[in-house]
Every structure is written in structure tokens, then in C-alpha cells.
Amino acid sequence: MRRVHHGDTVIDPYEWLRDNHDPEVIAHLEAENAHTEARTAHLDDLTDAIFTEIRARTQETDLSVPTYTVHSPGDTVAYWYYVRTREGSEYPIYCRVAAGGGPGEPPDVERQIPGEEVLLDANAAAEGEDFFSLGAFVVSPSGRLLAYASDTSGDERFTLRIKDLSTGELLSDEIADIAYGVAWAGDTHLFYTRADAAWRPYVVLRHRLGTPVAADVEVLTEPDDRFWVGVGSSRDDAWIVIGAGSKLTSEYRLLPTDDPEGQPRLVAPRRQGVEYDVEPAGDRLLIVHNASAPDFELAQAPLEATSHEQWEPVMPHTPGVRIQDVSAYAGHVVVSLRRDGLSGVHVLSRNDDGDLGPGADLTFAEPLFDVYAVGGPNYVTDTVRIGFQSLVTPPTVYDVNLSTAELTLRKQTPVLPGPDGRAYLSSDYVQERRWATATDGTQIPLSIVRRADVSIDGSAPAFLYGYGSYEISIDPTFSIPRLSLLDRGFVYAIAHVRGGGEMGRAWYENGKTLTKMNTFTDFVAAADFLIAHDYTRAERLAAAGGSAGGLLLGAVANLAPDRFRAIHAAVPFVDALTTILNPDLPLTVMEWEEWGDPLHDADVYAYMKSYSPYENVAAVRYPAILATTSLNDTRVCYVEPAKWVAALRQQATNGEDRPILLKTEMVAGHGGVSGRYQAWREKAFEYAWLIDQVSSTK
């Protein structure tokens, strides 16, 4: 293919791989899979060993902490909702049991108890399918109906079904080809979204139960290709909340659920560069916004507000404290934020008039952690649920008393002994925060974990992970599969590079569009830090990233191929310029505010061409590379890693000891395979490949 933009002509010899309906393309991908299988056959025993370790350490028959939910406030209809997993089953089972004694202590549901209702057994729903994923699971306000949406190919286009929970029967209302987001208005109306050919959710529709789907009404259609839409409901079920947003701008509409066929009211018109979220809070609205507040602030507005001029600050902007989200309850408000590079939960009181009082952060003793407000479905409550974990502490669920901030432990994910019988002890591991110096002097945080008995003398193998886009933070969380690396002597590090959201909005702004190169040089600086401080050596350093993190890995492979022994790039965005040049491809126009618009801006074109991995493949010795992708991925098309691998094979000077491999899941999407055992097996293979590579001295 010949491509001409801004006076620059590019001949792309591998663009023919884009047509996934071409038998030659499918044959090519299958041949690549066969080649990868042959080149990695020697890893079967190690893959089996790691899979066995993951499975042994995981409590396969388990359940979530039950959540108390009141239906139809004022009535006595209440349930405890929870999710079961069973040994040997790929997917969860969604359950509930009637709550006769009020919110109190969650019931003991370690074993099936009388009165348990199975709302949805995903294993039964997935029977006969190679892939299964839920895009919605919402019980109606009365508790009588369940709306759930499923995808059986991985393309994130779902079929919505309605189940009568009193009879177990499916209603005739079945809606195909919906996107994410489903909301109930009473038990009579459903709101949902649909995506266009570019996979942009562009319309919110309303369905009245019992009527033909063809009669569904368009509630909001978004004509601007930069914007997507979403729909949800307020915690008190009083409002349908309809949002439209781009990467930089947002606006919201509210519709009373007791008037589902009415006209949604605009809370505040969109203003370019202003982002805001809306949380109905009884007699007022709470607004998180960035108008004149780069790290966002919390404001309140009248319930009937129609303009930003009605916003009144209640938690003013503090530079360096990134306010992310707010959840309103009758007596308190819970704010999710980031401070000093870590996530946080801040609780404010409300008086009898609903006014917000002083607040404080929940505090934790560990130096690194991830804490998040799980929240709760009930507007009137004395407690909310939070999740906590760290690199050494498994996921832990607490109930927080909103008045006293007292934490009640509800559950910590068990980590069972491995095949060797050794119990997991967090004291066997060390986590720490270190800082690498970027090329411009910026200090880049690293989160590092290792076994306490691993020597810091340069001899250990190491694994460096990164992402760095969309203001997404990669927090220091726990992972059972990661133990298979740590217990083999690996140092595991996360590079919190610019482009992510770890250090506030400026951290993101300095790693996007025409500053994107900072993301890549920050990652190299992180690798240099690990090497210079004797955590590892270049020949023992592996790196990994997925999606936009795959772009990071591809760019770094061109920028500093000598820093890494092996790279795993998952669903990698490695042909970024080709994709962002084509407005007809999925998501492209929406991405222009993240990457820039190379179609109309010559400077953006030149800048993207300077770092896009596929555009910059050279005749050098690269690290060993494993690229994994999925045929039905709608976010990063399989063709990007397929072309990248083909170009690398053509030009790289790697020997047999540094293979360049492509592995394509033929029935899966952006998240890879869907079943948990399949996912463990895939992770075991990826880790086995990296372990094998960094064990080589060639």
C-alpha cells in the first residue's frame, strides 16, 4: 500500500494483512501460531509448572463478600448479593439470598444456604462458546428483573437479555448489538447504548419492556465523532444519568426515573477542555470538575442546575491532589483521589441539612498500596465498602464506618500454599518506592517488589512493567501469578511513567500528544535505574506492557534495544500512525485528543512518525519479542502486531537465540481469553517465555 500525507510517501508492504476475511491472512496468522508453538515447545514443562503454581495458590471454590441491597426503598425487600466461583468452572456464578435481619453482619455463605437464588450461572450461559464476557449485569430497582448483556466473540458487541427472577424465564425482550452501559428506570424501561462502525458509542436508546425493539427511542445521539456516550443510574435510583465525553471535554444530562419518557435536562453545556462528572446527592448535585482546577475540585450545585455558573466549591482545588470521583450518601460523601503518587479515599461528613463538613483521608501503614472505594448500592447507609491491596498484601475488603472511620475486615483473598507446600507470608517479600531520573531531570516513581532473600548485586533477573497513557494509573497491586516470578528470584518493578495519572493531571499532560516521547524515555530511565542500582543487568531484564503499553514497549525496543533481553507486547498499539491517520478505523477520531491529529497537522504527523514502532523498525539486534493479540480485538486491531512482527523479521539482526514471535487468539478480544483457567494458562506461557529468555546468557 502507498500512503501519502504532508508530502511524505510511505510504502507499506504488509498492509495486506488487514483483511481478516481474506483466507491468506487467516492462513498467515495460523502459520505464525504454528511457528510460535514450535519455537516454544520446550517451554511446555515450565508452563505447566507455573500454571500448577497459580492454580494451587488460588482458592478455586470461593465467593465475594455479600453486599446488602435494599430494593424499593420504604419496602422490606432486601437481599445479600454475592458471586461464587467453583473449582473446575471457568466463569463466576451470580447469587443472592433474602436479607431478613437488616444490614448487620453479612451471612455465612461459605456453603450454599437455604433460599439462595442463582441469578446467572455464567458457565451455563457460556456453554458451547469459545469466549464469554459480560458487558452489563443490572438488577431492576424492585429486585424482580435482571438485565445482562453478553459477548461471545470478543468484539465487545453485546446481546442484552432480561430475566424474570421470580420465574427464571427470559423475557421476549432481546436486544442485539449494544455497547457498554445499561440502566433501569423502574421495572418498565431500560436505557442502553449502541456503537457505530468505528466502535464509538454514539447513541443512548430507551426500550419499554414488552414492546418491539424496532420501536426503541433515541434519547440522545452524539454527532461529534470525538465524543462517546454512556448511561447509568444514580445510587438512589431517582435519576438516569446520561454522559457524553471526549478525551478533554464532557457534559451530562439527568432524567427522572419516574418520567422515563421525558426529556433529559442538561446539567451544564460542554466547554472545550472542561471535564466534569455529576453525582446526584439528594437535594443537590455534586460535581467533580477541572474548570480553573487542573487537578480537579469538588463543587455542589442545585439539583435543578443547568449551568456551570451554579457550581459552588466545597473541596477546592489543591495542586498535586488529583480528585477523581465522588460518591454521595445521605450522611457522608466519599471522594476518591490521588496524593503523592498513591490512591486515596477521603470521607466528608454531611449535616442534617445535607451540607458537607470537614473530611479526612483513610490512612494505611504500608509504604505502597492501592485503596479504592467499592461503595455501596444504598443511599442511606452508615458504612461503605473499600478495597485495599499492595504488592505484598492480597486484595482485602473492609467495611468503613463513615462516622468513625473504623475499618472492619470482611475478607482477604486467600493465598494457598504452592505445590511445594510453603505458605504465603508477606514478610518474605519487600516492597519499596524508588525514583529514577528522567532525561529532563524529572523524578519517575518506581514500585518494586522482591523476595527479601534476593541479593541486590546485579545478579537477579528483573521484570519491568509500564503503560503511560490516557491518565491511567498502574497501581502497586497484588498478583498471585506474579509469585511464580518472585519465587524464582525475580525483581518486579512498575515504572510509573508520564502519560499515566499517578502524579496528577500534569503527569498525564506531559506524556501525550507532542510530549509523548517522555513516556518512552521515562521507561528507559527506569530500566537504567534498575541496572545502575544493581537490581539486575541488561541481559537479565525483561519488560512487558499491553495495548498503549505495547506501544511503549515497541517504541522502547527501537529507542534502546540494548537495555532489555526480552519484551512481551500484549495487544500492542504498534502501528499507531497508520491507525490514527484513518478516521474510518475504530476509535481513531476519538483518539486525536490523546495522540494529536496527524491527518490534518504536519507537526503531529512528523512527531508520531518519529516514535511509532512499526515506522521505525531498523536493522539492529532487538530483544527477543513475543507479541500476543486477538483476532476480534476492536480496540487494537490484530494487524498492528502482525505487521510489526513481519517488519522485525525482515530487518532485525537477531540470531536464533532472540526469536521474534506472534501469537494470535483466533476467538478473543482486547482482554484476551475469557475463562479463568484459560487466562492462567496464557499467563503461565508468557511468564515461562520471559523466564527462559532471561535465563539465557547469549
* Residues that are catalytic: 547, 633, 670
Contact 533, 460 (CB under 8 A): no
* First-to-final CA distance of the chain: 38
Query: The cell 455465612 sits on which residue?
Result: 108
C-alpha cell at 388: 485495599
Helical (H) or strand (E) element with 78: strand 78-85
Residues with Cβ within 8 Å of 508's Cβ and at least 6 positions away in sequence, in order, are 470, 471, 498, 499, 500, 501
Q: Tell me how far apart the alpha carbons of residues 657 and 37 are, in angstroms, rounded to a whole number.
A: 16
| CA-wise closest residue to 326 among 384, 258, 404 | 384
SS3 240: strand
Angle at 228 between CA 376 and CA 242, to 5 degrees: 45
Contact 310, 269 (CB under 8 A): no
SS3 158: strand
φ, ψ (nearest 5 deg) of residue 170: -85, 135
DSSP line for 84-119: EE-TT-SS-EEEEEE--S-SSSPP--SS--TT-EEE
Q: Which residues pair with 190 in a beta bridge?
A: 184, 207
Exposure of 15 by Cβ count < 10 A (0-12 exposed, 13-18 middle, 19+ buried)? middle
DSSP line for 671-698: TB--SHHHHHHHHHHHHHHHHHHHH---
Angle separating helix axes 44-57 and 676-695, nearest 10 degrees:
130
C-alpha cell at 634: 476492536
SS3 548: helix
Exposure of 352 by Cβ count < 10 A (0-12 exposed, 13-18 middle, 19+ buried)? exposed
C-alpha cell at 130: 469459545
SS3 349: strand
